[in-house]
A and B are shown apart, each in its own frame.
Chain A
């Protein structure tokens, strides 16, 4: 199922934390949209309306001060409500039981690595990286922990389970962006960034690159498939490496 394309609003939300974000976005846009209209009504009133000149008594600035106080309160409300949500989503790492997936950006492709049955990722080394030889991430075959690692070009996740993404890049800065999951995090070479979320609606979501990364930036796209737990297990089983020293699938 491909999520229906929308032009006037965000694509349908598929993540648990997205519900609160969408609500916040809605209230912000409504409040600021109304202010935009109100300010322009005043602007036009000032332009059009013109009485014959007669000296007007200088009135006090009380109305403006009240307006400024109102705006300040609104900004404070925005800052506080957004910070609470930001803290909930970003201040803490994923729960210990979260599904671990490593995301690697390279010009111009996303790769996803699952740790396999042992729950541990094997070592990678930059000098082993060779996409033509079937090792785009530079997996170290001498590390037994990596024998059951799965490398995939699509991100497949079970619905309803928290996932902890470790986001890296091997070359330049990329931007890992899943609009349908309300998720964005830059992939910075030399760092591993962790973000976590829980997909709650099954479906197919676009993964885009949101940080200009070279001539193929616009085509650096991938798919996230959120599937029922049983389907995920079957997918995982079918992608497990068949022999311990074989090439990555």
Chain B
């Protein structure tokens, strides 16, 4: 009996804990659940495009609105619950305090409230599948009036309300989490941890948290305004004289959907950097760790991170070149967007230079986290290079909302982001379990995923150039030009199935290594940063974060020098 009480108490400790490491693991498990659901949804989408009449398990024949519900929920799950939750709150909770020599977060209770609010938000979102009308069909951007008027489509009634409530809760949670991160980084650094000695991951989280405070506050306001348009007869986003389904709407006075677009993308574009900045920080750290050389131009990397964060707030209009925005505004946003390509290119050049200089000294054979970092780099380059094309309004006016854009953001955000998350999981797994993940399985996972991801997303550029719009449930219709793209889309679907299946290797590795993986021991990667320092040491920092010395694996200076060593 006493054992029951003990396990119950232990369970309660896991649930009601404010311990940042346990919260970090919870965040990551939530993201794992979200990425699993999101991937299954995308597989259903891919199958539907090439075989609209096929009966899917648990679903039957998917109607066009079902396809759009899949798109909406896939995008929402992946952008919010995977690419925001995991790299920011997940891994920051796991390692950030240790990396700056803090025993705990500055506001641990806030961190716990943020986690559980995110879980509630996730459940509310999934509930949208089970209400009358199903999940919303207006895409993750949910432009009004389609999202403002329940009669505009199935899923736009209760489903849409649930989406808005879910995202409202998510915004609340994200801002709480960001306040905690900002406060922690500013106030909890240990002795000697000056700003310019912080690991680049910490710099990335600092800028990301600042972006979250701006972006998610605005999205929260937008979501509240849209709910108010739907239920309180306000008119922020709905113009007068709407005729939907033959019924004229008299509830609305003089709103404009353009206001939603501006508010949404003022959130939506910084969101991209929220997802990718932590990945950039991790890339710099891992390249230093595995080439056994310091980060090339540390100050330069900090400066480009700050520049990307700053410009990230000024480029939202490039999603709106053909939306009805003033064409002069299009020019302004095109220039800021081109400007952000410069610090991004600078980072890539820096990483390539680190790799080339580290050829002689790097760890051999390349460990799995390093492979996934190289994968991140490859996808960031592949997806990033189409950025300048889409930044030109005159070219974007053709490519906007085609598969070209789908290819662009899946490479630069989704695949680059995911590969960096994988790198982080393989790298920091010992901090969660005390064990290393299996290297052989990890390498299989990497190569299969790399091939699957390029096979899925690279051909989409061509569908986009051929003029195929996004969100098309099938390739039929009164014009015949789209049907010729069916063979291409079939190939993409097969590659997507391959990519999704390859993730089973990862899941298996995760479960197997958690129980049977090789015991990691202290500092398995011979890293300098302080998350690898022994648990109870009182650290005092006397050097920069990446003091690796050429060539020799054991030749490096950990940031954590204990008090006794100092004396």
| A residues lining the B interface (CB < 8 Å) | 2-3, 5-11, 21, 24-25, 28-29, 32-33, 35-36, 39-40, 42-43, 45-47, 49-56, 59, 61, 63-64, 67-68, 71-72, 75-76, 78-79, 82-83, 85-87, 89-91, 106-107, 126-127, 129-132, 138, 170-173, 175, 177, 179-180, 182-186, 188-191, 193, 206-219, 221-223
Contacts and interface: CB of A to CB of B under 8 A. Distances in A.
Interface in B308-365: 322-324, 327-328, 330-331, 334-335, 338, 341-342, 345-346, 348-350, 352-353, 355-362, 364
B359 A79 contact: no
Given A46-B352, A47-B366, A72 B466 contact: no
A32 B389 contact: yes
Contact of A188 (B245, B257, B350, B469): B257
A86 B134 CA distance: 41
B64 A218 contact: yes
Given A5-B466, A7-B466, A188-B256, 19 more contacts: A8-B462, A24-B395, A33-B385, A39-B348, A40-B378, A45-B359, A61-B296, A68-B345, A72-B345, A89-B394, A106-B243, A170-B241, A172-B145, A172-B244, A173-B143, A186-B323, A191-B256, A212-B137, A218-B473
Nearest to B153: A214
B297 interface: yes
A126 B248 contact: yes
B386 A32 contact: yes
B54 interface: no
Contacts of A24: 392, 394-395
Interface in B363-385: 364, 366, 374, 377-378, 381-382, 385
Contacts of B487: 7
B327 A189 contact: no
B138 interface: yes
A82 B469 contact: no
Given A32-B386, A172-B152, A175-B322, A86 B64 contact: no
B246 interface: yes
Contacts of B338: 75-76, 78-79
Contacts of B484: 5-7
A86 B325 CA distance: 14
8 contacts: A43-B378, A47-B374, A71-B345, A126-B240, A129-B248, A214-B65, A218-B476, A219-B478
A36 B382 contact: yes
A110 B391 CA distance: 29
A8 B403 CA distance: 13
A50 B364 contact: yes
A35 B331 CA distance: 25
Given A7-B466, A215-B64, A217-B472, A210 B239 contact: no
Given A86-B392, A186-B323, A215 B153 contact: yes
B134 to A, nearest CB: 11
A215 B469 contact: no
B185 interface: no
Contacts of B483: 5
A75 B242 CA distance: 42
A212 B471 contact: yes
A64 B350 contact: yes
A56 B360 contact: yes
Given A43-B352, A50-B364, A64-B353, A129 B243 contact: yes
Contact of B395 (A82, A87, A130, A216): A82
Contacts of A43: 352, 355, 374, 377-378, 381
B517 interface: no
Nearest to A84: B394
B222 to A, nearest CB: 16
Given A90-B327, A214-B137, A7 B550 contact: no
B242 A25 contact: no
A5 B359 CA distance: 47
A75 B145 contact: no
Nearest to B252: A190
B295 to A, nearest CB: 12
A187 B366 CA distance: 52
Chain A, interface SS category: mixed
A189 B394 contact: no
B402 A210 contact: yes
Greatest chain B CB density within 10 A among A61, A107, A171, A213 is at A171
B389 A5 contact: no
Contacts of B7: none
B393 to A, nearest CB: 5
Contacts of A28: 388-389, 392, 395
Nearest to B356: A46
B341 A75 contact: yes
Contacts of A76: 338
Contacts of B503: none
Contact of B242 (A2, A67, A170): A170
A241 to B, nearest CB: 23
Contacts of B330: 86, 90
Contacts of B392: 24, 28, 78-79, 82-83, 86
Interface in B282-300: 296-297
Contacts of B402: 210
Nearest to B463: A7
A130 B247 CA distance: 9
Contact of B239 (A33, A49, A189): A189
A52 B360 CA distance: 6
B479 A221 contact: yes
A210 to B, nearest CB: 4
A215 B377 CA distance: 38
A149 B514 CA distance: 73
A25 to B, nearest CB: 6
B477 interface: yes
A90 B243 CA distance: 30
B352 A39 contact: yes
Given A47-B366, A61-B297, A68-B345, A215 B63 contact: yes
Given A43-B355, A129-B248, A79 B477 contact: no
Contacts of A72: 342, 345
A40 B472 CA distance: 33
A55 B323 contact: no
A175 B243 contact: no
A181 to B, nearest CB: 10
B385 A126 contact: no
A4 to B, nearest CB: 9
Contact of B349 (A6, A68, A85): A68
B481 interface: yes
A51 B137 contact: no
B472 A218 contact: yes
Given A36-B382, A42-B356, A90-B330, A71 B342 contact: yes
A193 to B, nearest CB: 5
